[in-house]
Amino acid sequence: MLKLDAVAAGYGTFQALFGTTLDVNAGEAVGVIGPNGAGKTTLMRVISGMIRPWSGAISMEGVDVLAEAPHRIIELGIAHVPENRRLFPRLTVEGNLRMGAFTPSARAKFAHRLEFVFDLFPRMKERRNQLAGTLSGGEQQMCAIGRALMSDPKLLLLDEPSAGLAPVVVQQVFELVQRIRSGGLTVLIVEQNVQQVLRVVDRAYLLEAGNIRASGASAELLASDTIKQAYLGV
């Protein structure tokens, strides 16, 4: 579904990704793990068009993503839940969800999508008129994921959805990821909670200093000494 081939990217003269090659198949959940500053967020940004890579290729269902204008990438079925959520704090929950349905095709299905998101998150329905800035951390994450789902994506990019949440809420976020993918959505997820993310994804890539250092099935990575020592603290 999604293919990245030798993608290099950075900021100014600083290079953050050194030729990243990865793929995500339809229906899969794939994880990206790695230390702070490894380039995980940069990877998500190049996929969703927030930044343009220096070189390399990205395709979504055979379509050249880099040939599209950044605002059109969402129309290819890619939705991004950014790091730190980036909600509009002074808009209500519903106002935020509406911002996720800005494309013409999404606007046409707005009522349907709103119902879908409210079914997935009854809490958001209860709080539809509350200002997003006053939601709890876990609720804000639901709102951010809900906003991304408003565009009816095929591929959901999740950048550290569990960051800053209490352990019990982290658990709920991972359950949610499982629910989303069992609904047929393809997921690419960045996480620092390595142990937990490897329990919900099929495969994962280990990114270190802008390079893919390892990749494989979740069970393989959970058993690998490199991952165990550096990321699982065992």
Closest CB to Mg ion among residues 4, 120? 4
Q: Which of 24, 30, 39, 73 binds ligand ATP (CB under 6 A)?
A: 39
Vertex 155, ends 150 and 158: CA angle to 5°? 80
| Residues of this chain, 147-186, that bind ligand ATP according to CB under 6 A | none
162 is a contact residue toward Mg ion (CB under 5 A): no
Q: What is the C-alpha radius of gyration for the chain, rounded to an integer number of angstroms?
A: 17
Interface mask toward ligand ATP for 47-86; x: CB under 6 A: ------------------------------------x---
204 is a contact residue toward ligand ATP (CB under 6 A): no
42 is a contact residue toward Mg ion (CB under 5 A): no
Q: At what angle do helices 167-182 and 110-120 cross, to 10 degrees?
A: 130
Q: Quick one: 144 exposed, middle or buried, by C-beta within 10 A (0-12, 13-18, 19+)?
A: buried
Half-sphere exposure of 85 (CA within 13 A, CB side): 25
CB of 40 to ligand ATP, least distance (A): 3
14 is a contact residue toward ligand ATP (CB under 6 A): yes
Q: Are 203 and 227 in contact (CB under 8 A)?
A: no
CB of 37 to Mg ion, least distance (A): 8
Closest CB to ligand ATP among residues 93, 204? 204
Q: Which residue has the tokens 């996720």?
A: 100
> 78 has which bridge partners?
155
Q: Are 8 and 15 in contact (CB under 8 A)?
A: yes
- Chain contacts with ligand ATP (rule: CB under 6 A): 11, 14, 16, 34, 36-42, 83
